[in-house]
């Protein structure tokens, strides 16, 4: 079989629209871009791209259909994914609260205006490795049941009968799209102007981003029962 450019173009066009739409991936990248060193943010991006590519690969070759054939697999992925999203959200909120608490020792009443308290950012977690950041990105995509269902709905019917060259091109392009898009987001948000804005409102931003991740996790958990 020859390379099917028409199918390739159609799949990639849809994939681009999905990637650039806001979701847990974007929230995670935003937080890392604003709060962490740029290499850690790129490590998360690499993990996200790898996770999406793995999901796409197993869908292309039929493994993803297990979720349809055996709903318990979808339930397990939803519980794991929702729990992990919730963990990331709670971690962000707790980290923000801990950072603010450290600024004001017990028994001490701060005389700083609220604006100045808001302007002092909590320190990023010490010692987080590139591998740890990569694993977070990887798990966010691997444990996202909606991502798996998306690949089943898009890739399985369109790519199942295409050539190996077409499948390989779609996988490579999908990986590259994730890297380019989130890499662009990182380069924009990591600029001094945005970092400065973040430093003036780090507590609120971390809490909001953490709350968004927590709500996404809760929604995934609440929808887990639909697989049974």
pTM of the entire structure?
Answer: 0.81
**Positive or negative: CA dihedral 95, 96, 97, 102:** positive
Residue 224 pLDDT: 82
pLDDT over 70 for what percent of the chain?
Answer: 82
Q: What is the DSSP letter of 23?
A: S
Residue 189 pLDDT: 94
Q: What is the mean pLDDT of residues 72-86?
A: 86
Examine the pLDDT at 116 and tell me if it is beyond 80.
Answer: no
Q: Which residues have CB under 8 Å from 124's CB, separation 6+?
A: 35, 36, 37
Tokens 């028409």 belong to 6
Name the nearest CA neighbour of 144 among 78, 83, 91, 90.
78
Mean pLDDT highest for which of 38-47, 52-61, 93-102, 210-219? Answer: 38-47
> Biggest alpha carbon distance in the chain?
74
157-212 pLDDT tens trace: 677 678 889 889 999 999 999 999 999 999 999 999 998 888 888 889 999 999 99
Say how many domains are in the chain: 1
Q: 147 with 29: CB under 8 angstroms?
A: no
Instruction: Give, in order, the Cα–Cα distances in Å from 60 to each of 15, 65, 150, 160.
Output: 15, 9, 12, 6
Q: What is the mean pLDDT of residues 123-136?
A: 79
Q: Which of 38-42, 84-88, 106-110, 172-176 has the lowest mean pLDDT?
A: 106-110
Q: In angstroms, what is the C-alpha Rg of the chain? A: 20
Q: What is the mean pLDDT of residues 9-38?
A: 91
Q: Give residue 220's domain range.
A: 5-105+113-227
Residue 111 pLDDT: 46
Instruction: Give, in order, the Cα–Cα distances in Å from 202 to each of 33, 43, 45, 144.
Output: 12, 22, 22, 27
Distance of CA 195 to the CA centre of its chain: 20
If you write DSSP's letter for every residue of 67-132 in order, what string do you get? HHH-HHHHHHHHHHHHHHHHHHHHHHHHHHHHHHHHHS-TT----S-HHHHHHSPPPPPTT--HHH
Residue 64 pLDDT: 61
């Amino acid at each position: 079989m020859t390379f099917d450019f028409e199918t390739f173009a159609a799949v990639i066009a849809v994939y681009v629209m999905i990637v650039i739409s806001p979701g847990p991936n974007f929230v995670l990248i935003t937080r890392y871009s604003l709060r962490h060193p740029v290499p850690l943010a790129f490590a998360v991006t690499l993990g996200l791209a790898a996770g999406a590519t793995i999901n796409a690969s197993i869908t292309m070759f039929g493994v993803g259909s297990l979720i349809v054939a055996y709903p318990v697999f979808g339930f397990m992925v939803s519980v794991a994914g929702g729990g992990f999203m919730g963990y990331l959200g709670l971690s962000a909120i707790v980290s923000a609260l801990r950072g603010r608490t450290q600024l004001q020792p017990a028994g001490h009443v701060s005389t700083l205006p609220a604006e100045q308290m808001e302007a002092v950012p909590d320190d990023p977690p010490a010692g987080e490795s590139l591998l740890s950041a990569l694993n977070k990105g990887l798990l966010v995509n691997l444990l996202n049941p909606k991502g798996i269902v998306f690949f089943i709905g898009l890739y399985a019917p369109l790519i199942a009968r295409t050539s190996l060259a077409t499948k390989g091109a779609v996988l490579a392009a999908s990986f590259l799209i994730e890297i380019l898009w989130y890499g662009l987001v990182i380069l924009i948000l990591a600029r001094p102007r945005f970092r400065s804005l973040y430093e003036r409102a780090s507590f609120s931003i971390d809490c909001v981003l953490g709350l968004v991740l927590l709500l996404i996790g809760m929604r995934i958990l609440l929808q887990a029962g639909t697989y049974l």
